Structure 1
């Protein structure tokens, strides 16, 4: 993925406008999530992606697991694996090919690790508290950069854990991807080499850069 940038003045103007319109109640909750994440030694969790069409009919479900340590992360979905050491990302297709790219902080997509990163909402989204009923705070986030490949994200913050454990992403075609975390461990001991692809463990794999 290539980084895409907008003009500095446009970004500054858009961000300033959006921040002025943000819901202070939502910000307080999200700031609490960010502060809590910074205290974690390492995070491991299972996740499920459920894809639904615009009529809310279930189309697909994918299970996986994720590990996070600071800016590093590892994601496994079926045979495919994604490694990131904070500077480079390795996308391994689970068979014979791995693609290496620089970390793209300006990516137009939204991945599980971004939802679990501290302050991922800051400057990139406008946000408002939709509901505080029940065990979750429901917050709607709308991206400032309209070129992103989704319209909005609804995150559900567990009131007891002060963590985002569910999210629903509405894409430009009005399809929805629901993201649910389970079996969350916030005190995981994770070695740094877990976040780098080791070619010695995958002989014969073609490396594409």
Structure 2
């Protein structure tokens, strides 16, 4: 159960990393920067990311770090995180768990607003946040401009989000989400590649590789 919860938390942060862009009643400079990022990302045929994900809560003495990678092309994606591989072929989601030797198969609708998927990294305009320009910081020799996003919903579990953007490349560098319970999750992109030559079978689930696995069909 802990692994599932971590997976959901990570996917939410990954989705926020690229969907918290394009809102109303906000800072004009922040909007201009986010629009540039949106336009840049949408111009790519595919995106391949390596990332570091850190979960911290000093009050509870929690400090967890993990790494992963994701490749996206349109709605399709393959994500590796927490020892689990998730393959979405545009219609069906396959979650492969080598530790339990189990494959979970489910239908997933990328158009569903409640669906949290890496593919939404290419969907830049949602509602529910106000934003403004925040600090510019020098991180490892790179100037990173932060945009602060605050939920309009007073009951939100999120206190605020800081989205770090490289103004030169117009790529997202990191996302820092601060919760009302003082939990802070940080997603940092360590490698950002675009328009890669991808195998035609990259987003295809090959059942022959998992003959000894338990197949759990949810739909």
TM-score, length-scaled by structure 1 = 0.76
Task: Output the CA distance in 2 between the equivalents of 1:149 and 1:101.
Answer: 28
State the 1:90 CA deviation: 2.5
* Superposition map of 1:1-209 within 5 A: 19-55=23-59, 59-94=63-98, 95-103=101-109, 105-107=112-114, 113-114=119-120, 116-119=121-124, 121-134=125-138, 135-144=143-152, 150-191=158-199, 193-203=201-211, 204-209=213-218
Alpha-carbon contact 1:74-1:84 (below 8 Å) kept: yes
Task: Output the CA distance in 2 between the equivalents of 1:83 and 1:157.
Answer: 28
State the 1:118 CA deviation: 4.1
State the 1:107 CA deviation: 2.9
Q: Secondary structure at the match of 1:179?
A: strand
State the 1:146 CA deviation: 6.4
Task: Output the CA distance in 2 between the equivalents of 1:179 and 1:186.
Answer: 19
Alpha-carbon contact 1:97-1:205 (below 8 Å) kept: yes
Gaps of 5+ in 1: 1-17
State the 1:20 CA deviation: 4.2
Task: Output the CA distance in 1 between the equivalents of 2:200 and 2:185.
Answer: 30
Q: Secondary structure at the match of 2:202?
A: helix
How many residues are aligned here?
189
1:7 aligns to what?
none
Q: Secondary structure at the match of 1:132?
A: strand
TM-score, length-scaled by structure 2 = 0.73
Task: Output the CA distance in 2 between the equivalents of 1:96 and 1:43.
Answer: 28
Q: Deviations over 1:141-168 (max 9, x none)?
A: 2345667654432110011210112111
